[in-house]
Structure formats: C-alpha cells, structure tokens
Amino acid sequence: MLGQQLVHAAEEGNAEKVQELLAAGMEVNAPGKWGSTALYVAAMNGNLQCLEVLITAGAQLNGWKVNNTPLNAAAESGSLECVNALIAAGADVNAHEGTGRSALIEAVREERVQCMNALLVAGANVSAGDEINRTPLIEATATQRIDCMTTLIEARADLNSVDGKGRTALSSAACTGTGIKLLLRCGAHVNNAYTWHIRRHQTWRAE
C-alpha cells in the first residue's frame, strides 16, 4: 500500500522518517493498508512531533480513517497535546465519525476530561448527539462517568435531551444508579421519557 511506510513511521513516532518520506515525495494523505492516514495514526498514538510535521506538510485535518477523524482519535486516546495541536491547526471540533460520534463524545466514552475541556473551550457543541441523538451527557450518564457529567453540566449541556430510543440522561442515571441527585439538583425533568426506570430503581446514591 502506497502510504504504509508513512503510516508506519507516524505510528512509531519516528518524525525524522516521516520528514524523510515526505521530502522524497510521499503523498501526505496517502492511506495505509487499513485506510488510516499518517495523521490519524499519529493522533491515535499521541505522537505529537509526527503530527506537527504532517500538519505542516498539509495533511488533511478532517480526513477519515474508515469511520473516524484525527481529532476524534486524539480525544479517544487522551492525547491532550495532539488535541490542542489539531484544534490550533483548524480541525473541525464538531466533525463526527461514521456513527455520528463527535470528538467530545469520544472523550466522554474514555473519560478524557482534559480533552473534553479543550474541545469545549474551542467551541465543541456540548449537546450534539450521534446518529441516534445520544448526547455527550447521556453517554456520560450511561457509562457512569460522574466527572464527565459534571464537566458537561457546567458547560450547560441540555439536561433533558431525548435520544432516538426515548432515553434521557436522567433515565440512564436511574438504570445505573449514578448521577440521579446531581441531575435533579441541576434541573433535569422527572417526567421526561423513560421515567418508569426511576420507579424501578429505588436506591439512589448521592455523588
């Protein structure tokens, strides 16, 4: 595969090799054998120096690796330096991957609170959902990420969004037992969809 050498060098964090290949005429956006670009691989592995070389060479910031983007990859892996470098270079903080997940949702899924904060400061939509409108707050609640919940609520996430299956953050909290009192204290509506979960789960715990 044409770009595999470049992708491999970026994966290994070998910035010198990346520069050498680019100087020899390697296309900066050439995909590797699994469809990954070198920029995506550098972001996923937290290889900042390679990432900066590739950005300088004109790598496509919002290019896809099959179903993902470099910023999503950096947020998922928790590489704050790469997240910041991509944002500074102009990456779209609200771009999404194949199932509609944004970089913010990826950061929530892996509990990368620092990356979440960087994305929010850069203008990430705090309440944008995926393809079934599962918002960052619903994701944080369903996966019991209390620090992520707090961060999103402080950023004024919509407490009462309903996803495509009728779930809200509060109904998700009722299923897991995490965050119910926090959501109620901040104004979540008790009578939204799926509230029967709350009646089924009698043990509420404070966070």
For residue 194, the model assigns a pLDDT of: 53
Q: Please tell me whether residues 48 and 82 are part of one structural domain.
A: yes
Nearest to 168 by CA among 145, 199, 198: 198
CB-count exposure of residue 17 (10 Å: 0-12, 13-18, 19+): middle
Nearest to 95 by CA among 56, 126, 133, 69: 69
Return the structure tokens found at 120. Answer: 């929010």
Q: Please tell me whether residues 98 and 161 are part of one structural domain.
A: no
**Biggest CA-to-CA distance, the chain:** 66
For residue 207, the model assigns a pLDDT of: 42
CB-count exposure of residue 110 (10 Å: 0-12, 13-18, 19+): middle
CATH number of the domain bearing residue 160: 1.25.40.20
Q: Please tell me whether residues 109 and 140 are part of one structural domain.
A: no
Last residue of a domain, one of 93, 125, 157: 125
d(CA 103, CA 70): 9
For residue 33, the model assigns a pLDDT of: 80
For residue 2, the model assigns a pLDDT of: 61
For residue 8, the model assigns a pLDDT of: 95
Domain count across the chain:
2
d(CA 103, CA 5): 27
Q: Please tell me whether residues 19 and 61 are part of one structural domain.
A: yes
Last residue of a domain, one of 125, 154, 172: 125
Last residue of a domain, one of 78, 95, 125: 125
Q: Please tell me whether residues 114 and 140 are part of one structural domain.
A: no
Q: Please tell me whether residues 110 and 207 are part of one structural domain.
A: no
What are 102's strand-pairing partners?
Answer: 96
Q: Please tell me whether residues 115 and 55 are part of one structural domain.
A: yes
The domain of 173 spans: 133-207
d(CA 80, CA 84): 6
Output the pTM of the full model: 0.89
3-state secondary structure of 134: coil
What average pLDDT values come out for the chain (207 residues) when binned by 10 residues?
86 97 94 88 97 97 75 97 98 88 96 98 96 95 96 97 91 90 93 53 43
Return the structure tokens found at 15. Answer: 């910035």
Q: Please tell me whether residues 15 and 91 are part of one structural domain.
A: yes
Express the helix, strand and coil content of the chain in percent, nearest 5 each: 50, 0, 50
